Amino acid sequence: MNINATLLAQAVVMIVFVAICWRYIYPPILAVMQEREKKISDGLEAAKKADDSLEEAKLAYDKELSQAKAEAAEILDKANTRASQIVSDASSKAEAEADKIMAAASTNIENETNKAKEELRQQMSDIIIDTTQKILDDEISKEKHEEILKKAAKEL
Amino acid sequence: MASELTTEGYISHHLTNLTCGKTLEGWTCNPYKVDQMGFWAFHVDSLLWSVLLGSIFILVFKMAMPKNLDSNSTPKGTQNFVEMCIEFVEDNVQSLFGSAKNPLIAPLALTVFAWILLMNLMDLVPVDFLPVLAGHIAYALFGYNEVTGGGVEWIKGPESLYFKVVPTTDPNITLGMAFAVFILTIYYSITVKGAKAFLAELTLHPFGKWLIPVNFVLEMVNFIAKPISLGLRLFGNLYAGEMIFILIALMLFFSSIPVGIMGFGLHLVWALFHILIVALQAFIFMALTIAYLAMAHETEEH
């Protein structure tokens, strides 16, 4: 248990080991650890950011959705109004047309009736003249009784 | 060395290093000639174990990391353990060293901690196991043969070889490490503070510039006491622990069977308690190393 050169030898050995550790062992491991630590903290921060932007996107989405809904409701409203307007327009037009057609038809009918009546009157007066001629023969000439015949035709 | 086993023989056998040095007849490891070796002798066993354990530390830390190391790979297995150690050391350096940045301190602290821990852990290997094994190997390889005269002359049996396993129970080892720390302290004191400030620190207080010799003596005692106390603290704790293991082992060999059985129980209890000392002393040595070097970096105003 004497103090001897072992002391110096051990000091040298220690300096060698410390140098090896200092040069080759410690720095690479520490560098990797620090880099990993940084990566993890960066990752966590990015995750937090992503969370925040997701929240924001959700809010924007909700806003857009409600706006779109309001717009859609408005459009639907307008369309409904317009449709009912078109329907009422069309029906009033159709009614007018129908009235017109009816009026035209009734005028037509009246004309035809008058025409027919006129014809009938004509034929009747002819027949009556014929018959009267036959009855009266020469007694009564068409020329002499023109007045009376016209009067009778008018009365028919 | 005693041909018959005695208590004193057993104890001294466990407390003597395998010492090799130069005598008048040349280099030898003969335990009878240690007196002739003087200062230039080496405790081969202590140095062997210290180098071996230091290499284990370096290898484990080197092998634990994958070949193409980058921050994208997930840490696995031993790498986790290694990173845990480094984080532990880094924390301690941060808290003790503070702002002054020196990239040597943390590797130094890690080496000191891991290495001393490993050396201290050798204390937990049963006291006779490795010495007896080494003795038998040495006898088988170099044993003295009386008939042919071959082999090494002083290895007359397995017990002729002294072999101490725990390097930190050798004051040379602990003081050697403290000495290395001391050199670093001086180096950084001079380079960081400047030689002038360092000298001023040693001479100008506590009594001001009119009592420089007194100041110098006082500060010198203070300065030199640091490495000595650092080395002796570790040595003392581990030596005492080893001693108690040896004494407990004596109960197994040199007493009645009941006492021997009690020895087993005591062995377990002391080993469990010693784990605490092993880790604690390694930690204290590391913490003090960091603290002394931190002091070397501080430019204090007095």
- Average pLDDT value over all residues in chain A: 90
Which residue ranges form the domains of chain B, and what is each CATH number? 79-125+165-297 (1.20.120)
Domain ranges of chain A: 7-155
Mutate: best of B71, B73, B80, B179, partner A, most A CBs <10 A: B71
Contacts of B111 in chain A (CB under 8 A): 14, 17-18, 21
Distance CA B277, CA B166 (A): 14
Residue that the structure tokens 């002294």 belong to: B162
Residues B138/B161, Cβ–Cβ less than 8 Å = yes
Arithmetic mean of pLDDT, B219-229: 92
Query: A149-153, B63-67, B185-189: which has the highest mean pLDDT?
Result: B185-189
Tens of pLDDT along B126-153? Answer: 888 888 888 888 888 887 777 766 667 7
Q: Can you give the pLDDT at residue A141?
A: 63
In the beta sheet, which residues pair with residue B27?
B22
How far is it, in rounded angstroms, from Cα B182 to Cα B224? Answer: 8
Enumerate the H helices of B65-211 as residue ranges.
78-97, 105-121, 129-142, 171-188, 195-203
The confidence band for A1, taking pLDDT boundaries of 50, 70 and 90, is: low
Q: Is the dihedral of CA A138, A140, A146, A150 positive or negative?
A: negative
Q: How far is CA B105 from CA A9, A28, A55, B54, B84, in A?
A: 22, 15, 47, 18, 17
Catalytic residues of B: 229, 233, 237
Task: Look up tokens 């005492």; give the residue.
Answer: B240
Asked if the Cβ–Cβ distance from A6 to B170 is below 8 Å, we say yes
A 10 A CB-CB count for A53 gives 10
Q: Which residues of A touch B65 (CB under 8 A)?
A: 28-29, 32
Torsion sign over Cα B287, B293, B297, B302: positive
Nearest residue in chain A measured CA to CA from B18: A1
**pLDDT tens per residue across span B57-109:** 999 998 888 777 676 777 778 888 999 999 999 999 988 887 667 888 999 99
The confidence score (pLDDT) of residue B302 equals 47
pLDDT averaged over every residue in chain B: 86
What are the chain B neighbours of A36 within 8 Å (beta carbons)? Answer: 71, 75
Task: Give whichever of A36-50, B27-41, B90-104, B137-151 has the largest mean pLDDT.
Answer: A36-50
B210 secondary structure, DSSP code: G
Contacts of B251-259 with C-beta under 8 Å, sequence gap 24+, read: B253/B5, B253/B10, B254/B7, B254/B10
Partner B contacted by A10 (CB < 8 A): yes
| % chain B with pLDDT above 90 | 38
Amino acid at B239: Y
